Structure 1
């Protein structure tokens, strides 16, 4: 055979989709691993025509799973963001939507056994060190995918997946506020640079002469805005201690505006070179934390919840997402845990093939 076969299961996790692999079925070396993922997903073509990617950043994501040797965790989750049009792979970030499918995929791949009608799996996000508890429906000791839970950005309903995130503050930069300030001014725009589950540069939509309610298509067509946003993002990356981020998807970028549909605050999230069609799970935690923190660019855009835990309802391009935030405000903002409700569904399993010239796996 002139190609190497790699077992996988394709899952929709939250509002993202991609292949889930056993880590030991892939190369250990990261450069070679990147080559394999680029080939498997067809990176380098807008349609990913020569691979199983879906032609969008939310459908060229990869999860690699293994049994954890961590004292706390059951499963290690290693994430890769594969570029659609460039042959690039970014191993720095993690993805909370893809994480929504990790519990089910771990069971499907034989890495974890269901515990009964409800199964809790403790997951370590290898890229960032975050700890996540996932609880899913395993009635009859099988993963249940059908259910009545609906999430914005996904048609129909499915079984719920409850996620609780811990240890996400400073996961990429080591600090809640990587610049040590609640606000910075870059190119005349006030921003808040924050690292909670995902490092994000956040600004008010009105400062870019936007409403914050634009559609994904309207934003993606606004090349002037994207050029200005990217210039700010690159400078913010330096200020956040992340170095040259020109080829990295982090930090991400977010816009804030007053809610108009009954939520807490309106948001738009960028991946960062395209507008996210809905909302990232990791991004939602950082945006919610910014909304709850006095002194950030969110000031004046919302009436801050006073309950603890607080439910922060983020309006986004496809609807809303609720983030339940357990936090403290005694000596500055401190996040203890964030909870979200997601869904996942198994789509395909089998083998994906890459040319042996890319990787000739030793038998």
Structure 2
């Protein structure tokens, strides 16, 4: 098959393929089948494609000139499941988001400025707008810099990301705390639908390694029960078996100078760090009086960074309650880094014998 222009990029603590929408089939079924073949799914090792055998490294960002007058580019995120023929658009990804602006500049979709370039990104999965600032000294993208983020070795040029508050309710049920599958939880959406639960309510300390949590059948079963019970309460389309949201985040008191400690299920594996928008939802809970997380947090002052601890270190965000409103938040600001790893042509494996499954089909059973 003819090769397809493709960039393999790291965005934040994730890695994936970045492609132009114009290089992919318009038909969604054909597109998803092609992406499975590009990434090497279904196969636990993704040995025959670009995928990295883990949800954090089996991601795709599709970029195009924006369909909206208030944005420069459209960004569609697709999660390719490594070991199942599944391509999901049920969530977006804030880490791959960090790579979309440099990619768009490299592809000439947006003109570069001297010094820094601002790119307004329409997140197609959610309808939100994010404003990214990329380092462009001399009018060219640079990936070299001194910014450091936990979970990524070395340093790189910063990519500043400011996300608008989500258009829907911050608290989908209208309650700060709900009883979900027998435990207290805060159901919150500050860009990523999340269920915040005390680690202690699952008999955990909160410092457990991701692999240990994944191997604990009782914890996995309880998390699945919480997620299934929260699903209808949050009004999420589809079913728990066919979408990747909501995320279940276990929180505990900070242990390394941060505001809160986390362990995030995404939804069945445990994140080695934490997603950008998942961290935003945790930070929102930290800020909300009475919420799960607020009661455990070392509360930062207004305008100060909210440091979210995770298995690989920490994630810093700036998020505050909206002026005069204890039930909504203002824009979320974070610093990520991105890097071009490979830019060239990818050759998909031959056409699969079985079609891709989509969000409307059984996906994550």
Say if 2:194 and 2:245, in contact at 8 Å, map to a contact too.
yes
Instruction: Indicate the SS of the match to 2:297.
Output: coil
The structure richer in strand per residue is 1
Determine whether 1:276 maps to 2:274. no
Separation (CA, whole Å) in 2 of partners of 1:70 and 1:14 = 26
Q: In the alignment, which residue of structure 1 is the partner of 2:360?
A: none
Q: In the alignment, which residue of structure 1 is the partner of 2:246?
A: 251
Q: CA deviation at 1:356?
A: 6.1
Say if 2:322 and 2:328, in contact at 8 Å, map to a contact too.
yes
Q: In the alignment, which residue of structure 2 is the partner of 1:129?
A: 127
Say if 1:327 and 1:333, in contact at 8 Å, map to a contact too.
yes
Q: In the alignment, which residue of structure 2 is the partner of 1:205?
A: 199
Q: CA deviation at 1:329?
A: 5.6
Say if 2:37 and 2:350, in contact at 8 Å, map to a contact too.
no
Say if 1:6 and 1:351, in contact at 8 Å, map to a contact too.
yes
Q: CA deviation at 1:293?
A: 0.4
- Write the mapping of 1:109-124 to structure 2, written as runs, cut at 5 A: 109-124=107-122
- Write the mapping of 1:167-186 to structure 2, written as runs, cut at 5 A: 167-170=165-168, 175-186=169-180
Q: In the alignment, which residue of structure 2 is the partner of 1:229?
A: 223
Q: In the alignment, which residue of structure 1 is the partner of 2:327?
A: 333
Find the partner of 2:297 among 280, 295, 302: 302
- Write the mapping of 1:3-152 to structure 2, written as runs, cut at 5 A: 3-152=1-150
User: Which 5+ residue runs of structure 1 have no aligned equivalent?
Assistant: none
Say if 1:9 and 1:109, in contact at 8 Å, map to a contact too.
no
Q: CA deviation at 1:217?
A: 2.1
TM normalised by structure 1 equals: 0.93
Instruction: Indicate the SS of the match to 2:347.
Output: strand
Separation (CA, whole Å) in 2 of partners of 1:252 and 1:37 = 24
Q: Which runs of 4+ in 1 moved over 3 A?
A: 355-359
Q: In the alignment, which residue of structure 2 is the partner of 1:218?
A: 212
Separation (CA, whole Å) in 2 of partners of 1:69 and 1:51 = 31
Instruction: Indicate the SS of the match to 1:234.
Output: helix
RMSD of the TM alignment (CA)? Answer: 1.5
Find the partner of 1:290 among 262, 285, 288: 285
Q: In the alignment, which residue of structure 2 is the partner of 1:316?
A: 310
Instruction: Indicate the SS of the match to 2:300.
Output: coil
Say if 1:4 and 1:356, in contact at 8 Å, map to a contact too.
no
Q: Which moved more, 1:109-118 or 1:272-281?
A: 109-118
Structure 2 vs 1, CA of residues 141 and 329 (structure 1 numbering), >3 Å: closer, same or farther?
A: closer
Say if 1:254 and 1:270, in contact at 8 Å, map to a contact too.
yes
Say if 2:287 and 2:294, in contact at 8 Å, map to a contact too.
no
Separation (CA, whole Å) in 1 of partners of 2:84 and 2:349 = 19
- Write the mapping of 1:145-164 to structure 2, written as runs, cut at 5 A: 145-164=143-162
Q: Which moved more, 1:133-142 or 1:328-337?
A: 328-337
Say if 1:169 and 1:335, in contact at 8 Å, map to a contact too.
no
Separation (CA, whole Å) in 2 of partners of 1:104 and 1:329 = 33
Separation (CA, whole Å) in 2 of partners of 1:211 and 1:148 = 34
Say if 1:129 and 1:167, in contact at 8 Å, map to a contact too.
no
Q: Residue by residue, what CA displacement relative to the aligned partner does 1:289-346 show, whole Å, maximum 9, x if unpaired?
A: 0111012112420243331x34211011000111101432623232120000110000
Separation (CA, whole Å) in 1 of partners of 2:193 and 2:19 = 26
TM normalised by structure 2 equals: 0.93
